[in-house]
Amino acid sequence: MSGAKRILVLGSTGSIGLQALQVIEEADDLELVGLSARSSWETLVEQARAHGVTRIGLTDEASASRAAGAWPAGEVHSGINGLVELVLESGADLVLNAIVGSAGLGPTIVALGEGIDLALANKESLVVGGELVTALAEATGARILPVDSEHAALHQLIAAERSAGPGTIERLTITASGGPFRGASRSELQRVTVEQALAHPTWSMGDKITIDSATLMNKGLELIEAHHLFAIPYERIDVLVHPQSIVHGMVTLCDGAVLAHLGCPDMRVPIAYALHHPERMELDVARLDLAAVGSLTFEPPDLEAFPALAVARRAAVAGGTAPCVLNAANEVAVHAFLEGRLAFLRIAEVIEATLDELGATPLREFDALFEADRRAREVAAAKIA
Ligand code: NAD
Ligand code: MG
């Protein structure tokens, strides 16, 4: 038996999933034990063949039966329950959750509940159920390793200060590229198209997170993610716009020193970090040449043109079900925008109006989250119709 770490990749056909498969292929000490997607069964079967994996899961049941027909040698898990089976039966040492949206919450709960370490790209899991998710990880001893680049950066910076004791970390800073509309005024944002919003300047990502980056909601979600991962109060977490996406995160210490994490924007770096932690692997990615970059620039976020960030911060501070409502309304609004049914500036308005209508209720159990998510989707959809 080899001592390879067994990895299950959920959402393997997406942007993060594809890059994770590249990383795993290059690593001798990682073994792929399962793959999942929503409906892209042909790609999934192809991936399974290419990587010698027999267990796959498709949450869309019709796609799962097509995959089963095309691939009799393998085991195809079907539907949401199939995803749960995949986590429970794959024998994974670590689950990479690269599903998009609150659909990722279920697998996060199952993996952590089983005490399986979680490499978490699905930031929505922490946005929606941060307190409960981190409490579950603490109870079972499973680790949550962030894949989001800013949080992977902070994870490394904070780890370096662990021996310094409590009270050392004063502030956290996450950077934002500013997206394709950085510098635009509100009136200029009135008529932006889906195509323009999908043209991200520094990162190539799935559609949903690309729109979140254009509205700055992505940084709002990341603020909540950082709060739960590192147990730092919201008033001590800053967002800084940095168009070059070279500095990913910064930690301000109690003696005034500031530690920053730098690197060329390439998600394989944080993916490899999360998959290998506490070890590192040699990665064939571009090395940072600061002389070639020339200058790094920083500016505060424009909360008037990009109100989604301010809306997210308010929901974060309100706590309880508010971040779950924020996330669900955002998913509905972004989906409508991508389909051409909602104007860009209306995204934040729909989210804010949904939050105003539903308010925040305290949270004690996961079931309340699924109910809040469902209700918020209904309310947001009604505001768009
Ligand atoms: P993507 O849309 O490219 O891929 C999503 C994957 O999840 C696909 O494999 C898809 O089949 C699967 N999926 C979609 N809906 C599903 C559902 N309802 N149930 C089960 N599976 C489903 O998304 P992405 O850009 O790879 O992002 C994935 C996650 O990682 C998101 O939470 C995103 O915020 C986060 N993230 C992405 C990046 C990036 O560079 N792409 C960076 C940081 C964080
Ligand atoms: Mg990020």
CA distance 54 to 71: 9
- Give the pocket of ligand 1 (CB within 6 Å): 11-17, 37-38, 40, 59, 98-100, 103, 121-124, 148, 203, 205-206, 208-209, 267
Q: Which of 174, 177, 228, 220 is nearest to 314 (CA)?
A: 220
**How many other C-beta atoms can be found within 10 angstroms of the C-beta atom of residue 385?**
7
pLDDT digits (tens, 9 = 90+) for 321-368: 999 999 999 999 999 999 999 999 999 999 999 999 999 999 989 999
Q: Whose Cα sits closest to atom 32 in ligand 1?
A: 122
pLDDT of residue 252: 98
Q: Which of 127, 241, 122 is nearest to 174 (CA)?
A: 241
Distance 147 CA to ligand 1 centre (A): 12
Q: Whose Cα sits closest to atom 4 in ligand 1?
A: 14
pLDDT of residue 200: 84
Q: Whose Cα sits closest to atom 25 in ligand 1?
A: 206
Which ligand is closest to the CA of 268, given by its number? 1
pLDDT of 3 higher than 90: no
pLDDT of 166 higher than 90: no
Which ligand is closest to the CA of 179, given by its number? 2
Tell me how many helices (H) and strands (E) the chain has: 16, 11
CA 103 to the chain's CA centroid: 12
Residues 6+ apart with CB under 8 A from 6: 31, 33, 90, 91, 92, 93, 94
> Above pLDDT 70, what percent of the chain?
99
Which ligand is closest to the CA of 226, given by its number? 2
Q: Name the residues around ion ligand 2, CB cutoff 5 A.
A: 148-150
pLDDT of residue 226: 98
Model confidence, pTM:
0.97
pLDDT of residue 132: 95
Task: Note whether 219 and 348 are within 8 A (CB).
Answer: no
Report, as an integer, the average pLDDT of 222-231: 98
- Indicate the pLDDT class of residue 199, thresholds 50, 70 and 90: very high
Q: Which of 222, 97, 138, 115 is nearest to 172 (CA)?
A: 222
> Above pLDDT 90, what percent of the chain?
94
What is the amino acid identity at position 209?
Answer: I
Using the atom order of ligand 1, give the atom closest to the CA of residue 12. 9
CA distance 119 to 135: 17
Distance 103 CA to ligand 1 centre (A): 10
Pocket test for ligand 1, best of 59, 99, 223, 338 (most atoms within 8 A of CB): 99
Distance 81 CA to ligand 1 centre (A): 19
pLDDT of residue 161: 86
CA distance 272 to 22: 10
Task: Note whether 283 and 264 are within 8 A (CB).
Answer: no
Distance 259 CA to ligand 1 centre (A): 30
CA distance 336 to 34: 32
Report, as an integer, the average pLDDT of 205-211: 95
Report, as an integer, the average pLDDT of 157-172: 90
- Indicate the pLDDT class of residue 2, thresholds 50, 70 and 90: low
Q: Whose Cα sits closest to atom 43 in ligand 1?
A: 148
Report, as an integer, the average pLDDT of 155-159: 96
* DSSP class per residue in 169-225: EEEEEEEE---TTTT--TTTTTT--HHHHT--SS----HHHHHHHHHTHHHHHHHHH
Tell me if residue 292 falls in helix, strand or coil: helix
Pocket test for ligand 1, best of 41, 100, 219, 264 (most atoms within 8 A of CB): 100
